[in-house]
Structure 1
Amino acid sequence: MEEKVHHLMNRMQKRHFHMRTQWYGPFLSPVLLVAGFSLLIFGIVILPTPAPGWLCIFVALGILSLVHPPTRRLNIWLAARLDAFYAWYRERHLVTRALLFSLLLAFMAVVMGSVYHFMAPDDWPYTNA
């Protein structure tokens, strides 16, 4: 995955450099900053839910890396850590992997249940009126 992220970010960097030379170059950086930070915050908010939070975070970091170069290094480092985690996870015994997956599902159920319980309107089913 690290190689794919590196290749994709190189292509994005070339495209961004070409776009900055156009007339809309001065408007591009603020728009990318707002879009990147908005997507990053959204990704962090949806991280504990079954939605693709990590995907949003990686895309946001990719967008921010066009304006802020250290973010590119952070994105590649995170992709390498994700590869290392997947390698570690694949080395575990099947029972251990099943237990870890069950814990993840239980955590997601607790998060989603608490969000429903504390944020649902009072007239929804299974909420305390």
Structure 2
Amino acid sequence: MTDQVSTEHENTENRWLRLRRRIAAKPVLNLAYRVAVGVVGTVVLAVGIIAIPYPGPGWLIVFAGLGILGSEFAWAYRLLRFAKARYDQFMEWFAGQSVVVKALSVLATTVVVVATLWVLGAIDLVAGWFGIEQPLLESPLG
């Protein structure tokens, strides 16, 4: 079964490489492809960076964006390897920390999330649904 999966993976990879070579052979198409990869990768990366402080897959989205960019740009591939290594080191360090450090981390994350929701006006919006009108809940952005 493993041989079959490996063969299917190789066939898919070979098809992809053949397609990529055909695209690369046409300068205009190659430029359009690289621009599209750059735009899509940058958008995914930006969404990931925005999502980092929130519960959920923020770092996974960052790594996906860098992976998309890294498929065409060497600098992004190097950055992906560097960022993943630092992330793994941090998570290993964090796993060995005390409950107090972990609790402070949860508190800091909560403060960041609440603060950004307040600045973006989401807290005032939701409070308005329940008839709560407090000037303190209003976003400083107006």
- Is TM more than 0.5 here? yes
CA distance in 2, matches of 1:18, 1:113: 50
More divergent stretch after superposition (105-114 vs 45-54): 45-54
8 Å contact from structure 1 (residues 48, 111) kept in 2? no
Cα 1:18–1:105 shift into 2, 3 Å:
farther
Matching residue of 1:6: none
Within the candidate set 91, 94, 100, 2:96 is matched to: 91
Matching residue of 1:34: 39
TM-score (norm 2): 0.63
TM-score (norm 1): 0.68
Matching residue of 2:21: 21
CA deviation map 1:55-108 (0-9, x unaligned): 221111101111111211110111110111111111111222122222222222
Question: Structure 1 vs Structure 2: percent identity of aligned residues?
Answer: 24
CA RMSD of aligned residues (A): 3.2
Pair 1:62-2:67 in alignment: yes
8 Å contact from structure 1 (residues 36, 63) kept in 2? yes
More divergent stretch after superposition (105-114 vs 59-68): 105-114
Unmatched 5+ residue regions in structure 1?
1-10
Q: How many residues align?
A: 117
